[in-house]
Amino acid sequence: MISARRPAWGFAPLLFAAAACCVFLVSGCDRLRQDMADQPKNRPLSPSDFFHDGRSERPLLENTVARGSLANDDLLIGKDSNAFPLPVDAALLERGRERYGIYCTPCHGLQGDGNGMVAMRGMKHPPSYHIDRLRESPNGYFYDVITNGFGQMYGYAAQVPPRDRWAIVAYVRALQLSRYARAADLPADLHDKLSKGDSAK
C-alpha cells in the first residue's frame, strides 16, 4: 500500500525561506533602531559647534513667558512684588477668611501658626505666618506659593481662582497684623470703641 503522506523533507525549502525572511526583517528593524540611536543630536548640556558660544542649551530670551501660563490669570504679579492688584476692603477680607478656612486651616491653623489638624496628626508643620521671614515676604510671594505650591504644599491654582487667592493673601496679611497690632494703629472709630470697652471693665 502506498502512503499518501508527503515526506517531511519536502517542507525544508519552505521553512528555510520563512527563516530567511524573519532574519531579514529582524536585521532591518535592528538597523533602523540603531540609525535612530546614532542620529546627530545634542545631549543636554553637551557642547555644540553650531552656536558661537559653544553651548547647545540656549538661554531664555528676556521677558519670555511660557505659552498658556498667563491665560487664566489676569491678576498675576511678580513673586518679588509687594503690589496688590485688588482694592482691599471688608468684603475681600471676609471672602479671604472664608476661603482660608476651607483650604488653609487644615495645615496652617486658624491663627496661621502652623498648628492645623493635619499637622497635629503627624504631617510636617508648615512655618508660622508670624515668623520674621514670612512677615517680611512680599505679597507676590504668597500668591506664588498658593498658585504653584512650595515644599510639601501643592499648588492650589486648580481649586482657588486668582481673585480668591488674593483674598486669601489679604486675610493672611490681616492675621499677621493682628498678632502684633497696637491700639494706636487702629482707625479712630475702632480705637474709640476699644477704649470704651476697656473703661467699662
Any domain includes 140: yes
| Predicted pLDDT at 200 | 47
Any domain includes 60: no
H/E element, 150: strand 149-150
Any domain includes 141: yes
Kindly give the parts of the chain with pLDDT less than 50. 200-201
Of residues 89, 88, 81, 72, the one with CA closest to residue 162: 72
Q: Give φ, ψ of 70 to 5 degrees.
A: -105, 5
Any domain includes 40: no
| Predicted pLDDT at 33 | 64
Any domain includes 187: yes
Any domain includes 3: no
- How many structural domains comprise the chain? 1
Any domain includes 107: yes
Note the pTM of the prediction, 2 decimals: 0.60
- Which cell is 98 given? 472664608
**CA angle, residues 105, 114, 129, in degrees to nearest 5:** 95
The predicted-structure confidence for 149-187, as pLDDT tens digits, reads as follows 998 899 998 899 999 999 999 999 999 998 887 777 777
Q: Give φ, ψ of 57 to 5 degrees.
A: -80, 125
CATH of residue 130's domain is 1.10.760.10
Residue numbers of the domain that contains 156 = 90-200
- Which cell is 135 given? 512677615
Any domain includes 192: yes
